[in-house]
Structure 1
Amino acid sequence: MAKFAVGKIAMVAVIACLLVGSAPQVGATITCTQVTNLLTPCISYGVFGGTVSKECCTGIYKLNAAYKTKEDIRQACSCVKDGAAMIPGINYDRINEIPGKCGTKCPYKVYPDTDCSRVA
């Protein structure tokens, strides 16, 4: 059973990396590749629950520190939204709990119908 879970997490990480490598929005300095690299450790919590890893929280802190403009926030929101949509079994409520569990905040909530162009 553990091998299946590890294999599923690896598959989800690969899918996320492949699907969120899109070009950044004009004016944004954050790329989807950066967002994916920072947040990949959070995927297992988003799918399976349990405990949010230290690596996930570190990624959240680094992403929050990387925001320089509203466009950066909007770009990150789009990257997270698009990536999450490709992950089988993702739980959006869990995704949105992660910043609080890490002791920080996120400037947006991610759901399938989130309009990232209006965040910030």
Structure 2
Amino acid sequence: MAKVAALCVMAIMLSIALVMVKPTHAITCMDVDVALEPCIPYLVGQAPDPTKACCDGILHLKNLATTTLDRRAACTCMKAAASHLPGLKDSTVSALPQKCNAPLPYPISTSVDCTK
């Protein structure tokens, strides 16, 4: 009987632990592409300022990329996307988070080292 009670207590503790574990976001390049797509006109100099949709995307990325691995993945995806945008200005890329009032805890740039 004591073994059954101990197993029940362990099962309950395991259940509680599983519920309390914070799910992780595995950020994908699709997440990054969708979030940044509205920013393209600003980033290539076709618009003087980022749109609200662009700034919402930056804020969404900021909220998604909460772990070091997520931030590295987002960085790598941003760099990959940037390589396909002719006319991209690094100064506009770097200024985007501040323009959107959504400062990121890491720099964004076409030349940033995503491993750091």
TM norm. shorter chain > 0.5: yes
Question: Does the C-alpha gap of structure 1 residues 75 and 28 become closer, same or farther in structure 2, counting only changes over 3 Å?
Answer: farther
Aligned partners of 2:44 and 2:89: how far apart in 1?
6
Structure 2 counterparts to residues 70-85 of structure 1, below 5 A:
70-85=68-83
Percent identity, please. Answer: 36
Aligned partners of 2:60 and 2:110: how far apart in 1?
24
Counterpart code for 2:39: C
Scaled by the length of structure 1, the TM-score of the pair is: 0.70
Aligned partners of 2:108 and 2:65: how far apart in 1?
17
Q: Residue 107 of structure 1: CA displacement?
A: 2.6
Q: Residue 28 of structure 1: CA displacement?
A: 6.7
Q: Which runs of 4+ in 1 moved over 4 A?
A: none
Q: Residue 51 of structure 1: CA displacement?
A: 1.4
Question: Does the C-alpha gap of structure 1 residues 85 and 51 become closer, same or farther in structure 2, counting only changes over 3 Å?
Answer: same
Kept after mapping to 2: 8 A contact 1:35/1:76: yes
Q: Partner residue of 1:53?
A: 51
Cα displacement string for residues 23-65 of structure 1 (whole angstroms, at most 9, x for unaligned residues): xxxx971000010001100111010140110000000111111
Aligned partners of 1:100 and 1:110: how far apart in 2?
11
Scaled by the length of structure 2, the TM-score of the pair is: 0.73
Q: Partner residue of 2:104?
A: 106
Q: Residue 75 of structure 1: CA displacement?
A: 0.5
Q: Residue 85 of structure 1: CA displacement?
A: 1.5
Structure 2 counterparts to residues 1-120 of structure 1, below 5 A:
29-48=26-45, 49-118=47-116
Structure 2: runs of 5+ lacking an equivalent: 1-23
Q: How many residues align?
A: 92
